[in-house]
């Protein structure tokens, strides 16, 4: 254990613990060691000097990744209140030797097949109580100590016992932690698994090396669970430690710094544990005595900004209540439990949603760190930062929350103009990131089918994962265009879906990557040739047509793509009749939408022959028996709109479709398909309106109620002015007063048809709000 004459002292800390950091800072100042050893992968050591570099603002994370498989990575987060961050900065600023002493990433970032497959217990029998306890300790090493002290989880116990306790001598607190954990490990010697034993063996090897190098005051800073394994150095044989480390697999590892965020730090992921309240911990670390007052003032300001009443007097009451609760619970400072209880009774006025807002903004926080360009930045990230600067997007990258690009008070959704060079470059950058699977910006709709518009609206929302993804994607290229292109080609090569490759082609043109389009078109042609799925080809057609038009506007040669479209239309036209039979209502709705979009797309193409072939397919949908009612209705409407069928032929089909023998649900579906997206034809073609009126008059009331939800769904797609006109038309058919008599369950007579129409009007108004 820690002895006055020993050349080293071990300090067991909690990762990201503000109390641990405060006490450690005091101990380092008083003892002033000549060497600092810190838990952390040893091969991350060279990169840690970046922590004192100008522009480095925590929270940040050191990423150690497998050079051959970049998705294998370890992340070491650092916050301003992390003991490891404090120790490294202290050592650098005082020009003291320091070292990361944990097992190198080169030994654990290896392919899965090279790792030992260890099971906790080989026996298939039910585990004993001791085995269950050991499992528990491996998952949460300090849980038994917490339970003994009356706490349900170790985080709350540690927070109360160490982070927020006051008055005790700092060195004595670390000694007490060491004694408590040693007793636990002595009681359960098998609680440490093989990975932990190897890590601790490596730490002891480095500690012995530091002693051998002549250091006389070595501060060893590790997680509390590991502290006894280093404090009792003489109890472990050098040969045994070397044997544990012999023959470990190795791989080449690289390092990079990436920004981190408080929301991500609050998750239990990465190297070391997460914390539940990063933003509050920063307040507590920087000024524990006045943290509660300042934090409550910030909470009141936040609530007022959101439009809630939050007076200074209520904030003062909240402070007093939080302190009283802390005192009742024998705590030197208020913690998150006390803050929540005090807030809910005062500033939040009993409203949980207000408390949740404060938790999100001030307890967890939205803070995002910053990493300046340097030696430990992957080339792709450096290129991105250069592009962000040249396109004037730097301030948006790593900004918390959602916001529209170039938003103003008069234009809250913003918008960029692709006719302006810098705006066009912004668009290219955002589309390239999207191709890389980094959806920083989501392009918002302007109006229907506005593919070639010179305006784009982007909603930006940065996530810490984006910087990590940039690191992962760097294996595809050192520049954004090169990486986006190669990644897209790889994605297309791995895909067996026509729609996925079609979307990649359009996205590549938007990203100004025309050089990869020919290879993508070849892949698409190969998939389309082999595909017998008419529905998928139909769904892909609008994207392909849009891409040919988009390519024309950007002067990109899309001849091969246009030829493919010309090949697909006859196949689709021949296949849709079969695709429209033997399907349920929801499948029919999907097919209906696909046909409507495909019809619009084909209308944009020059060439009457293709249009005629497509219209032939629509005609077969109308004529054949078994076509889903909504699809048949839409096909008839499209043929009428395109003047293939005149009013007389349309009325005949309409009359047949509304036959009582078809049943009320099928008729309602058919009407929904026919009126898809617009009520204009029904409003301005009296014969059709008369047929609908007659159909309603012939319904029994039960049948009318059965069909009403489908009719309501049809109405939701209508424009407001169309709905008003329809309501007016229905109202004109009824009497001046609505009948108070309940409608009979028999078929409606001509005299009762008008009240039924009035009832329809009332029901529709009720459905539409």
**292 occurs within a structural domain:** yes
Same domain assignment for residues 294 and 399 = no
Task: Please report how many Cα atoms fall inside a 13 Å half-sphere around the Cα of residue 64, on the Cβ side.
Answer: 25
Q: Are residues 197 and 302 in the same domain?
A: no
**Same structural domain, 86 and 36:** yes
For residue 258, list its beta bridge partners: 61
Predicted local distance difference test score (pLDDT) of residue 736: 39
Give residue 30's pLDDT.
93
Q: Is residue 508 part of a domain?
A: yes
**Alpha-carbon dihedral of residues 703, 709, 714, 719, nearest 10 degrees?**
120
Residues 356 and 385 grouped into a single domain:
no
Residue 482 forms part of a structural domain: no
Report pLDDT for 188: 80
What is the H or E stretch that residue 404 is in? strand 402-404
Give every strand in the sheet of 218-223, ordered side by side.
8-13, 218-223, 35-41, 97-102
Query: Distance between CA 507 and CA 509 in Å, rounded?
Result: 5
Q: Which residues of the chain have pLDDT under 70?
A: 1-4, 70-71, 111-140, 150, 152-153, 164-168, 267-274, 375, 447-453, 550-557, 606-607, 677-723, 726-769
The answer on 383 and 355 residing in a single domain is no
As given in the structure block, the two tokens for residue 308 are 């809630």
Is 750 part of a structural domain of the chain? yes
Q: What is the dihedral of CA 55, 61, 67, 70, to 10 degrees?
A: -120
Our CA dihedral for 92, 93, 94, 99, rounded to 10 degrees, sits at -10
3-state secondary structure of 185: helix
Sheet containing 60-66: order of strands: 73-78, 60-66, 253-259
Contact indicator for 458, 474 with CB cutoff of 8 Å: no
Same domain, residue pair 71 and 137:
yes
CB 8 within 8 A of CB 207: yes
Q: To which residue do tokens 């001030």 refer?
A: 362
Domain holding 226, by residue range, is 8-115+127-265
Cα gap 707→724, rounded to integer Å? 21
Asked whether residue 162 is assigned to any structural domain, the reply reads: yes
- pLDDT tens-place string over residues 547-572: 887 654 555 567 778 888 888 899 99
**C-alpha R_g of the chain:** 35
Query: Per residue, what are the HEC states of 437-482?
Result: CCCCEEEECCCCCCCCCCEEEEEEECCCHHHHHHHHHHHHCCCHHH
Same domain, residue pair 728 and 693:
yes
Supply φ then ψ for residue 222, to 5 degrees: -140, 165
Residue 348 lies in a domain: yes
Peptide bond into 17 cis (omega under 30): no
| Residue 251 and residue 295 in one domain | no
Number of domains in the chain: 5
My answer on whether 223 and 296 are in the same domain is: no
What is d(CA 325, CA 423) in angstroms, rounded to the nearest whole number?
A: 55
Contacts of 652 (CB under 8 A, 6+ apart): none
Q: Among the three residues 421, 448, 463, which one is the final residue of a domain in this structure?
A: 463
pLDDT at 424: 92
Same domain flag for 195 and 72: yes
Both tokens of 310, joined, read: 């939050």
Residue 341 lies in a domain: yes
pLDDT at site 318:
94
Q: Which two tokens stand for residue 702?
A: 């039960």
Cβ 516 vs Cβ 488: under 8 Å: yes
Are 103 and 233 part of one and the same domain? Answer: yes
Positive or negative: CA dihedral 269, 274, 280, 286:
negative
One domain, residues 232 and 358: no
Report helix, strand or coil for 78: strand
Token reading at 340: 């929540």
pLDDT of residue 753: 43
Helix axes 517-530, 498-510, angle to 10 degrees: 160
Residue 656 lies in a domain: no
Q: Is 701 in contact with 664 (CB distance < 8 Å)?
A: no
Measured CA to CA, the distance from residue 436 to residue 488 in angstroms comes to 7
Domain boundary among 230, 265, 300: 265
∠ CA 541-542-546, rounded to 5°: 120
Write out pLDDT tens, residues 309-319. Answer: 999 999 999 99
**Domain final residue pick, 265, 298, 332:** 265
């Amino acid at each position: 254990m820690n002895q006055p004459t020993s050349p080293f002292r071990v300090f067991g800390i909690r990762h990201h613990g503000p109390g641990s950091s405060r006490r450690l800072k005091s101990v380092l100042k008083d003892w002033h060691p000549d060497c600092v050893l810190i838990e952390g992968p040893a091969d991350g050591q060279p990169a840690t000097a970046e922590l004192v570099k100008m522009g480095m603002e925590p929270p940040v994370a050191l990423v150690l990744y497998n050079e051959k498989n970049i998705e294998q990575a370890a992340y070491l987060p650092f916050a301003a209140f992390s003991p490891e961050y404090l120790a490294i900065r202290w050592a650098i600023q005082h020009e003291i030797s320091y070292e990361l002493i944990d097992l190198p990433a080169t030994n654990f970032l290896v392919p899965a097949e090279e790792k030992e497959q260890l099971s906790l217990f080989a026996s298939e029998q039910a585990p004993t109580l001791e085995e269950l306890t050991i499992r528990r300790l491996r998952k949460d090493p300090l849980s038994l100590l917490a339970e003994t002290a009356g706490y349900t989880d170790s985080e709350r116990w540690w927070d109360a016992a160490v982070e927020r306790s006051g008055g005790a001598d700092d060195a004595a607190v670390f000694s007490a932690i060491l004694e408590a954990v040693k007793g636990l490990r002595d009681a359960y010697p098998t609680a440490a698994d093989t990975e932990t034993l190897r890590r601790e063996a490596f730490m002891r090897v480095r500690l012995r090396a530091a002693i051998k190098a002549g250091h006389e005051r070595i501060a060893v800073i590790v997680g509390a669970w590991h502290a006894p394994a280093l404090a009792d150095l003489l109890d472990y044989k050098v040969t045994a430690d070397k044997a544990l480390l012999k023959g470990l697999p190795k791989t080449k590892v690289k390092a990079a710094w990436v920004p981190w965020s408080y929301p991500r730090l609050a998750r239990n992921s990465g190297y070391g544990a997460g914390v539940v309240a990063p933003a509050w911990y920063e307040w507590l670390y920087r000024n524990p005595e006045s943290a509660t007052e300042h934090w409550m003032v910030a909470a009141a300001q936040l609530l007022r900004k959101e439009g809630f009443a939050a007076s200074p007097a209520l904030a003062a009451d909240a402070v007093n209540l939080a302190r009283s609760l802390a005192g009742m619970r024998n705590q030197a400072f208020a913690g998150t439990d006390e803050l929540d209880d005090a807030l809910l009774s005062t500033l939040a006025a009993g409203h949980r949603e207000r408390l949740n807002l404060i938790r999100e903004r001030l307890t967890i926080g939205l803070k995002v760190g910053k990493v300046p360009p340097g030696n430990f930045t992957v080339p792709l990230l450096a290129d991105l930062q250069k592009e962000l600067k040249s396109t004037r997007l730097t301030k948006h990258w790593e900004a918390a929350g959602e916001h529209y690009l170039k938003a103003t008070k008069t234009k809250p959704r913003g918008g960029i103009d692709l006719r302006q060079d810098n705006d066009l470059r912004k668009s290219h950058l955002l589309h390239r990131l999207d191709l890389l699977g980094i959806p920083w910006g989501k392009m918002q709709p302007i109006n229907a089918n506005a593919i070639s518009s010179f305006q784009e609206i982007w909603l930006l929302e940065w996530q810490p994962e984006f910087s990590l993804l940039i690191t992962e994607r760097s294996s595809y290229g050192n520049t954004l265009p090169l990486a986006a292109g190669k990644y897209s080609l790889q994605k297309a090569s791995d895909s067996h879906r026509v729609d996925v490759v079609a979307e990649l082609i359009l996205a590549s043109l938007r990203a100004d990557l025309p050089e990869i389009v020919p290879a993508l078109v070849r892949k698409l042609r190969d998939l389309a040739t082999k595909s017998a799925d008419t529905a998928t080809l139909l769904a892909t057609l609008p994207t392909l047509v849009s891409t040919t038009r988009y390519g024309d506007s950007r002067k990109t040669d899309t001849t091969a793509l246009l030829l493919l479209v010309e090949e697909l239309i006859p196949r689709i036209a021949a296949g849709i009749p079969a695709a429209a039979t033997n399907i349920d209502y929801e499948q029919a709705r999907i097919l209906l939408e696909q046909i409507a979009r495909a019809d619009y797309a084909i209308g944009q193409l020059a060439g009457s022959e293709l249009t005629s072939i497509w219209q032939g397919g629509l005609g077969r949908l109308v004529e054949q028996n078994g076509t889903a009612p909504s699809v048949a209705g839409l096909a008839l409407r499209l043929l009428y709109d395109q003047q293939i069928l005149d009013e007389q032929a349309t009325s005949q089909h309409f009359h047949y479709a509304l036959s009582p023998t078809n049943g009320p649900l099928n008729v309602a579906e058919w009407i929904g398909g026919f009126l898809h997206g617009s009520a204009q034809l029904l409003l301005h073609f009296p014969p059709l309106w008369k047929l609908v009126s007659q159909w309603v008059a012939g319904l029994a009331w039960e049948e009318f109620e059965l069909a009403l939800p489908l009719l309501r769904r049809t109405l939701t797609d209508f424009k407001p002015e169309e709905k008003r006109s329809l309501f007016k038309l229905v109202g004109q058919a009824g009497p001046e007063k609505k009948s108070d008599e309940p409608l009979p369950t028999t078929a409606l007579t001509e005299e009762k048809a008008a009240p039924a129409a009035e009832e329809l009007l009332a029901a529709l108004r009720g459905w539409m709000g």
